[in-house]
Amino acid sequence: MGCLNFKKTKTFLSLTLILILILLISSNQIFIKAQTNQDFNLSAKGYCGFVYLEWDKVEGADRYWIYRGIGEGNEESMPLTDFPIKENYYKDTKNLIEGKKYCYIVKAVDVNAKEFAKSNEACATPTCSSEIPQEECKLILQYQIGNTYYWVNGVQKGPMLTAPILRWDRTFLIIRHVVEEVEGTISWDGVNQLVTIVTKEGKKIEFQIGNKMYKTNGVSKQIDPYNPNVVPFIQNGRTLIPLRVTGDELNAKEINWYGDKNIAELIFIVPCPEKLKGRIDVLLPENCTNGTYIDIVDMNKKPISVIKEHKGGLYSTGCTLPCPGSYIVTPINPNCQFTPSYQQVDLKDCCPAYQRITFQCECEEVKNGRIIVKMPPECAKETKVIIYDSSGKDVWSGIVNEQGIFDTECILKCPGDYKVVPINSNLQFIPESQLVTLKECCPSVQVVEFQCRELTHFVQKICACLVRMTEKPDSNGNYQVYIKLNCKEGEPAYDLELNFPQSLLDTVNGFTILDYYNKFDHPVPTGLGCMAIVYEPATKNILEWAAFPDRKPCCEQIPTQGGRIYVKMSKECIEDTV
């Protein structure tokens, strides 16, 4: 009986273990699935030389990181841009190769630089490379012994007054017919029997009759290092100059001799003729423009351009389209029906000529609503109001007037739900934001009111490493610096984005934070020196800093004395540190 109970217990334990394993595997699958769910939508479309990305605005997002890779699931760990971007769209032109499939993920970042939401993966293939190899054009000059005619890119020209001749196994000719083909000038000094050539770049070349030496910008050289007998000469009243040395000094890429035909050839690399460009203007009635963009493809449905900006209903490509060429032009707006739905445009006359087409439309009536924000006048100075729609998209913003009033006028889609957020780095608003539901449209008005109180300013002291920095200051004279607290490795890429005033210098060494940043390769390598920073959290303005270049991260903040920063460092960091 005891053995039977033991077997039952053993069987029960085995079943329990199997059940636990099943639950763990199931929960792990559920967990993995939850981790891969997207938080917002991203779309990508390939064009010639770029991929256009657009995504939903995310509520609470301050900026966005973009990650790119070749093929699905291969996004790089480093973002595509040096800094997170504010907009919810991006035109990627970085090192794109025609025919390759590029995939993207966008991650939303909050005001504390923390990534908190991720898009779906979106892929697109550019229809041509973003960096098109520079076209190389050639100027080919050919001169035949005994023939008064010569050829320029296969086109016969001439006759010359004297045919080229061979002397000392070198080709001689009237050199004017070479110099002028490469846009140089030539002159003759009969007194000194001197031929002077000046290239279009300004190089001066001088040959003298009977002289084995010539000059280039005043420097003497021998015409033929292997044969001192080779000199310019006059025959039948015509000055003949050796072709090879002249071709070398005129920067010919190739100098060839075809002995079977007695032809000397010079090949120069020259600027290519500018390709013709065309322009299409699309005119829409102004009531058709709200939310409308123009999509242009070629006859193979290859994307060429997308135009979102307009002036008074006029959308223009500018002089950017290959010409001559044929294109399909389509206005796109989910709320409008256009007549015709698209048009084919055949560009025969190129810029400055242009072709204009028009469309008519019938659009659904969109009613507008109005919100007025009120606050005490003492809350108005430097206060901005931002209004978001239900998707988190920033739909309107502006500055509060001196009376404490902000008025959207009748521009908001109605009915609709909105979030009203007043912003002022010196104030705390009560409430911080308000949700507004517009049920009644204009001329009705929805009024929301806020109170405010002044923030108590304080400063914070941190030890950090510099990760990234903007190249130029903004309109307020501040660089944006991205820093990693305590120089820790790993995600996120940075912890804080702070404003570094352009005027803030190291008064002892005249050493700016930009100088400090430029001492190192980027992104930050292992062993980057540390710095201590005092900043104001409300404004994110740096007030004071101390840098320890060429030192590994080893600083530890201690309380300040007399308003200055004092930094405690490990022993190996102290030597030679200023």
pLDDT in tens, 40-52: 999 999 888 889 9
pLDDT in tens, 279-330: 999 999 988 887 788 999 999 888 888 898 899 999 999 999 999 999 999 9
- Give me the percent of the chain exceeding a pLDDT of 90: 44
User: Percentages helix, strand, coil for the chain, rounded to the nearest 5?
Assistant: 10, 45, 45
Q: Does residue 319 or residue 411 have the better pLDDT?
A: 319
CA distances (Å), origin 14, targets 10, 20, 24, 27, 377: 6, 10, 15, 20, 74
Paired strand residues for 214: 207, 221
- Same fold yes or no, 277-363 and 367-454: yes
pTM comes to 0.36
* Lowest mean per-residue pLDDT among 123-132, 197-206, 377-386, 424-433: 123-132
Please, what sign has the CA dihedral across residues 296, 302, 303, 305?
negative
Average pLDDT over residues 400-405: 91
Q: Report yes or no: 76 and 68 within 8 Å, Cβ to Cβ.
A: yes
Classify domain 277-363 at the CATH class level.
Answer: mainly beta
Task: Compute how many other C-beta atoms are within 10 angstroms of the C-beta atom of residue 145.
Answer: 15
pLDDT in tens, 59-88: 889 899 999 998 888 888 778 876 788 888
Q: 390 falls in which pLDDT band (50, 70, 90)? A: confident
User: Taking 50 as the threshold, does the pLDDT of residue 10 lie above it?
Assistant: no
Cα 550 to Cα 214: distance, rounded to the nearest angstrom: 55
* Lowest mean per-residue pLDDT among 421-435, 455-469, 557-571: 557-571
Cα 557 to Cα 231: distance, rounded to the nearest angstrom: 80
Exposure string for 196-210, b = 16+ CB within 10 A, e = fewer: bbebeeeeebbbbee
Give residue limits of the domains in the chain.
47-124, 137-270, 277-363, 367-454, 460-574
- The DSSP element (H or E) to which 257 belongs, if any, is strand 254-258
Residue pointed to by tokens 């699958």: 29
The CATH architecture to which 367-454 belongs is Sandwich (2.60)
CATH superfamily of 47-124: Immunoglobulins (2.60.40.10)
Quote the pLDDT of residue 83. 74
Q: Report yes or no: 186 and 179 within 8 Å, Cβ to Cβ.
A: yes
Q: What is the DSSP string of 477-531?
A: SEEEEEEEETT--SSSS-SEEEEEETT---TTT---HHHHHHTS-SSPPTTPPPE
Quote the pLDDT of residue 561. 36
Q: 34 falls in which pLDDT band (50, 70, 90)? A: very low
CATH superfamily of 137-270: Copper amine oxidase-like, N-terminal domain (3.30.457.10)
Average pLDDT, the chain: 81
- Give me the percent of the chain exceeding a pLDDT of 70: 79
Q: Report which listed range, 328-332, 378-382, 495-499, is most confident.
A: 328-332
User: Taking 80 as the threshold, does the pLDDT of residue 193 lie above it?
Assistant: yes
Angle at 415 (CA atoms; ends 414, 416), nearest 5 degrees: 95
